[in-house]
Amino acid sequence: MANDRPNQGQGIGLKAVADELGLSQSTVSRALRNHPSIPAATRERVAQAAKRMGYAPNARARGLAIGRTEAIGLVFPLERLRLVQTNFVDVLSGISDVVTERGYNLLLSPFRDDEASVLRRLATSRMVDGLIITRPLVHDPRIRLLADTGIPFVVHGRSDVDIPYSYVDVDNFEIFRRLAELLLDYGHTRIAALNSYRRFRYAAARAAGYRAAMDSRRQPVDPDLVLETAMTEEDGVACAARLLSLPEPPTAIICGSIFLAKGVYRAAAEAGLQIGRDLSVVAHDDQLRGISAADFVPALTATQLSVEMAGRRLAEILIDRIEGKLGDDPVGEVSRPDLILRESVGRR
């Protein structure tokens, strides 16, 4: 005997509904799942009874039988929730939406330090049908790990690994390239770049984009003008202050995030500089809620891309893959930014 308290109490099972109607479990199951072999009349009768009796399918048993849980997992470092200024919750929000629409559940797995083991456990225990991982490094070991387990997964961002995998990414190279070119077009040459840490693939790509733009105009890259920093307002203030106190300060600053830009605006105000005239600022805008480049004073020129939409696509691709709606080949989507010109840039 496995269980001393079988399906009783609150548990209305398929069996109970079947008995009530004088049908077999199979028929009830099929009727509820709209199997074509069940005539509409029966299907209706069953639906009624199920509803009346308060039948709810047991997700555990169903999961075992169909070999799926109808849940996907999201693994991320605990700090990403703790950070006040982050695009993480916007991604999460996009994912949640789709998960809800498709009738899936979302298993959140924050980890403190040992991500690999969390990932492996989740993947091999078949607790979820698929996984999403975020912020890949330039060479990210998680991709191999997941590929080895055979679980469907999709990466928010790309990584330079030699195995195929699915991803949703933005063209980070292009983002910084266009931002830099815009400033070059306006006659700036001392252009600073506030970028994230280059161990992350997206930051590395942005650095390359910046360099490409400078190279194409035969402008030297001054290492003092390229800073690696976290993407918060405070860091924006600090970086801007540092840049502005340089013997030969930049005339324009590219910000990797809108939070950073906000900080730069603050620092400029404190230094008595007017944005758009004394200092040009451009940024990449993830279109997070609660903060908009258009509301900056002066309005901030920025490349723009919805990170919530990225979250949606991540979930959609993953679920399609799980349900076999995609072929066997991984799919990758990279969206290119729109550049919205506003008032934060002036001629040098």
- Tell which one of 57, 139, 187, 217 touches DNA (CB under 7 A): 57
Cα–Cα distance measured from residue 151 to residue 165, given in angstroms and rounded to the nearest whole number: 11
Site string for a copy of itself, 120-149 (x = CB under 8 A): xx--xxxx---------------------x
Least Å distance, CB 124 to DNA, is 10
Please give the Cα distance from 268 to 284 (Å, whole number). 18
Place of tokens 């298993």: 107
Q: Which residue lies nearer to a copy of itself by CB, 124 or 216?
A: 124
CA 326 to chain centre: 20
Q: Quick check: 81 binds DNA (CB under 7 A)? A: no
Backbone CA torsion sign across 191, 192, 195, 197? positive
Does position 103 interact with DNA (CB under 7 A)? The reply is: no
Beta strand ranges found along 78-145 (DSSP E):
105-111, 130-134
Q: Does 13 bind DNA (CB under 7 A)?
A: yes
By the rule CB under 7 A, 149 interacts with DNA: no
- Token pair, residue 97, equals 């939406």
CB atoms within 10 A of CB 202: 25
When asked if residue 324 is in the footprint of DNA (CB under 7 A), the reply is: no
Q: Looking at 25, 42, 58, 335, which residue binds a copy of itself (CB under 8 A)?
A: 58
Binding to DNA, residues 21-50 (CB under 7 A): 22-27, 29-30, 32-33, 37-39, 42
CB-CB contact of 177 with 212 (8 Å)? yes
Binding span for DNA by CB under 7 A among 1-9, 113-121, 176-184, 229-237: 1-9
Question: Quick one: which segment of 53-61, 202-210, 264-272, 300-308 binds DNA (CB under 7 A)?
Answer: 53-61
| Cα(117)–Cα(141) distance, integer angstroms | 12
In the list DNA, a copy of itself, none, the entry touching 84 (Cβ below 5 to 8 angstroms by class) is: a copy of itself
Nearer to DNA, 33 or 82 (CB): 33
52 binds a copy of itself (CB under 8 A): no
In the chain, the amino acid numbered 196 is: S
The SS3 call for residue 93 is helix
Binds DNA by CB under 7 A, chosen from 54, 65, 199, 325: 65
* Residue 149 touches which of a copy of itself, DNA, none (Cβ within 5-8 Å per kind): a copy of itself
Q: How many of the other CB atoms lie within 10 Å of CB of 160?
A: 12
Tokens for 26?
A: 């199979």
- CA distances 215 to 64, 200, 210, 295, Å, are 57, 23, 9, 33
Four-CA torsion 190, 194, 199, 202, nearest 10 degrees: -100
Cis peptide before 298 (omega within 30 of 0): yes
Q: Is residue 162 exposed (0-12), middle (13-18) or buried (19+ Cβ within 10 Å)?
A: exposed
The residue within the footprint of DNA, chosen from 19, 44, 52, 64 (CB under 7 A), is 64
Q: How far is the CB of 225 from a copy of itself (least distance, A)?
A: 29
Backbone angles phi, psi at 256, to 5 degrees: -70, -15
Count, residues near DNA per rule CB under 7 A? 33
Q: Which residue has the tokens 């324009």?
A: 252
- Report CA dihedral (291, 297, 300, 305) to the nearest 10 degrees: 20
82 sits near a copy of itself (criterion: CB under 8 A): yes
69 binds, among a copy of itself, DNA, none (CB under 5 to 8 A by kind): a copy of itself
Which region, judged by CB under 8 A, interacts with a copy of itself, from 106-114, 136-144, 173-181, 190-198? Answer: 106-114
Q: Which positions touch a copy of itself (CB under 8 A)?
A: 2-3, 5, 9-11, 54, 56-61, 63-67, 69, 71, 78, 81-85, 89-90, 92-93, 96-97, 100, 105-112, 120-121, 124-127, 149-150, 289-290
Q: Which positions touch DNA (CB under 7 A)?
A: 1-4, 6-7, 11, 13-15, 18, 22-27, 29-30, 32-33, 37-39, 42, 57-58, 61-62, 64-67
